[in-house]
Amino acid sequence: MAVSAADSSGRPAPAFDVVVIGAGFCGLYMIHRARQRGWRVRAFETGSGVGGTWYWNRYPGCRVDIEGFEYSYSFSKELEQEWEWSERYPPQPELERYCNHVADRFGLREDIQFGTRVTAAHYDESTRHWTVVTDRGETVTARVVVAATGTYSDPYRPDFEGADEFQGLKLQSSRWPREPVNFEGKRVGIIGTGASGVQLTPILARQARQLTVFQRTASYTVPLQNHKADAEDTRARKATYEVLRDAQWASGAGFTTVHSKPVPPPTLKVSDVSDEERTRVYEERWASGGLCFYHAFVDLLVDEKANRTLEAFMNDKIRSRVKNPEVARKLTPTQNPVLTKRLAGDTGYCEAFDRDNVELVDLRAEPIRKFTRTGLVVGDREVPLDVIIFATGFDLGTGAMSRIDIRGRDGRSLKDYWSQGIKTYLGMMANGFPNLFWLFGPGSPFYNPVLLAEYQVEQIERFLDGCGSGDVVEATPAAEKEWSDLTNAIANMTLFTKGKNYYMGDNIPGKPRAATLFLGGFPLYKQTCEKAVTTRDGLVA
């Protein structure tokens, strides 16, 4: 795409070549590339700073559960070498600092308008421009709109009876206040036991007078084995960074390490190895910590028998971590095959329930009936509380984009378009929405979000570079259908469809059940993108 001027057919130039919505990891890289190309870019960010997920999720204990070396940009060798992670799994404040460092180092801040939410984006067929409207009443035009609005960014808070009556403090994990909250002497309740609830629990167990964790579905958790960074290890890893990056790009999900060393993608099925070897592999990965079980064997997410071997291993670990057998029973997941409700990396989660001041409430036995002025009624008892924390998740993928009134050709609303199921081409665009792209959104692969940002931004550039004098790119209905069918067909081959989970949209009442993310692995995604940008078969000419 050429820098905007009046185009060859004499249409006037828009105010910007590209409008970017959001300044998290994805938005920052989009801004950087647009600047490098000489495109006039304007980004709008609701928050007062950069970081996206790492700006909003500032609850105690929040940290990434992919190693910092892997969860960082690869586009600048200088950045890789100069940045120092202080821990194996960096905490939220450090990730936010990293995003600020990137914004300053590459001069991105001047193109970001903070404290501004985009409320609408409408396509005008006659000018082939988008008109973008903000909550400050501004209107700007752009040739291209890129939604970098995040996939875990639209908080979901269930509608509980009487929720407004509660007189204590209500907090949402993903909208945590900037000022520290003092929990000393307080009776605190956490609703939700996904990754956020799992990280909050052990910290609040130490701070609060009484902590009650309200669990509807237990999560499998694996100790992170986090530790402070070691100078010698950091030096060695920086010296071999390229080996790590190659392994990441070749992997299915963009995280590859075991004991902090990259390993190749798995080739063996569980049944290819003896029981002893399988246990050795599981123990090694347990000792390594975190998410590495996702790449232990090729069939863990597609074969129920294989999956059950890991379940049995994990169930034993829960029993070994918790003294009270009744609590261990409640903490043992029964609803979803292991790895399909996302594994949570934890630091002392199970052990926290051995404390006298911590109670686990099984909401399947005692459902939440209502909120009162002074607490929560579960089953036939009231739990008195001073603070209630909602760690109740997100409307994955579609949530953030559907909040914006996005209208494509002929006034087609994106929210309506997706109301019967998600339709995308390569998880980056949709038919009827020319020059609208999104990053790590609906239909995108389940992959390390930082590297995915880099990959998708570069594909968007390639799509735009090949679009000729009309400067418009749009997916054909056939290409969109093919990609969406493939996304759902692959999901149906996996165990993700066997339980209820946010990947299938099950956590949001009324959301049609469909795969929100592409689960076929990054290599297949990349191969399909390469073909798409080379042949351009899937694009409206």
- Contacting positions for ligand N01 (CB under 6 A): 64-65, 152, 158, 173, 191-197, 199, 216-217, 342, 345, 363, 368, 391-394, 502, 507
State the minimum distance, in angstroms, from the CB of residue 215 to ligand N01: 7
SS3 of 51-107: the string is: CCHHHHCCCCCCECCCCCCCCCCCCCHHHHHHCCCCECCCEHHHHHHHHHHHHHHCC
State the minimum distance, in angstroms, from the CB of residue 366 to ligand N01: 11
State the minimum distance, in angstroms, from the CB of residue 228 to ligand N01: 18
State the minimum distance, in angstroms, from the CB of residue 156 to ligand N01: 7
Q: Is residue 369 within a helix (H) or strand (E), and if so which, with residue range?
A: strand 368-371
Residue 388 CB neighbours (<10 A): 24
Residue 61 or 520: the one with the smaller Cβ distance to ligand N01 is 61
State the minimum distance, in angstroms, from the CB of residue 263 to ligand N01: 20
State the minimum distance, in angstroms, from the CB of residue 164 to ligand N01: 16
Strand ranges of the sheet holding 187-191, from the earlier edge strand across to the other edge? 169-172, 387-390, 187-191, 210-215, 358-362
Residue type, 488: N
State the minimum distance, in angstroms, from the CB of residue 507 to ligand N01: 5
Residue 435 or 448: the one with the smaller Cβ distance to ligand N01 is 448
DSSP state letters, 228-260: B--HHHHHHHHHTHHHHHHHHHHSSSS--EETT
Residue 85 or 123: the one with the smaller Cβ distance to ligand N01 is 85
State the minimum distance, in angstroms, from the CB of residue 509 to ligand N01: 9
Residue type, 423: K
d(CA 416, CA 226): 44
Residue 123 or 294: the one with the smaller Cβ distance to ligand N01 is 294
Residue 123 CB neighbours (<10 A): 24
DSSP state letters, 496-532: GGTS--GGGTTTSTTPPP--SSB-S-HHHHHHHHHHH
Angle 123-128-134 (CA atoms, 0-180°, nearest 5)? Answer: 40
Q: How many Cα atoms within 13 Å fall on the side-chain side of residue 485? A: 6
In terms of DSSP H, where are the helices of 208-321? 231-239, 241-250, 275-288, 304-321
Residue 193 or 309: the one with the smaller Cβ distance to ligand N01 is 193
Three-class secondary structure of residue 367 per DSSP: coil
Residue 173 or 340: the one with the smaller Cβ distance to ligand N01 is 173
Per-residue tokens: 113? 């308008």
Residue 54 or 282: the one with the smaller Cβ distance to ligand N01 is 54
Per-residue tokens: 446? 């389940």
State the minimum distance, in angstroms, from the CB of residue 58 to ligand N01: 12
Per-residue tokens: 456? 């998708």
State the minimum distance, in angstroms, from the CB of residue 502 to ligand N01: 5
Residue 74 or 507: the one with the smaller Cβ distance to ligand N01 is 507
State the minimum distance, in angstroms, from the CB of residue 531 to ligand N01: 29
Q: For the chain, give me the number of helices (H) and strands (E)? A: 16, 20
Residue 392 or 528: the one with the smaller Cβ distance to ligand N01 is 392
Residue 342 or 423: the one with the smaller Cβ distance to ligand N01 is 342
State the minimum distance, in angstroms, from the CB of residue 112 to ligand N01: 24
CA nearest neighbour of 132 among 353, 515, 436:
436
- Cβ atoms 362, 215 nearer than 8 A: yes
Residue 39 or 496: the one with the smaller Cβ distance to ligand N01 is 496
Q: What is the chain's length?
A: 541
Residue 392 or 456: the one with the smaller Cβ distance to ligand N01 is 392
Residue type, 290: G
Task: Indicate the residue whose CB is closest to ligand N01.
Answer: 194
Q: What is the CA radius of gyration of the chain?
A: 23
Per-residue tokens: 48? 């007062």
- Cβ atoms 517, 249 nearer than 8 A: no
CA nearest neighbour of 127 among 147, 143, 144, 139:
143
Residue 330 or 342: the one with the smaller Cβ distance to ligand N01 is 342
State the minimum distance, in angstroms, from the CB of residue 363 to ligand N01: 5
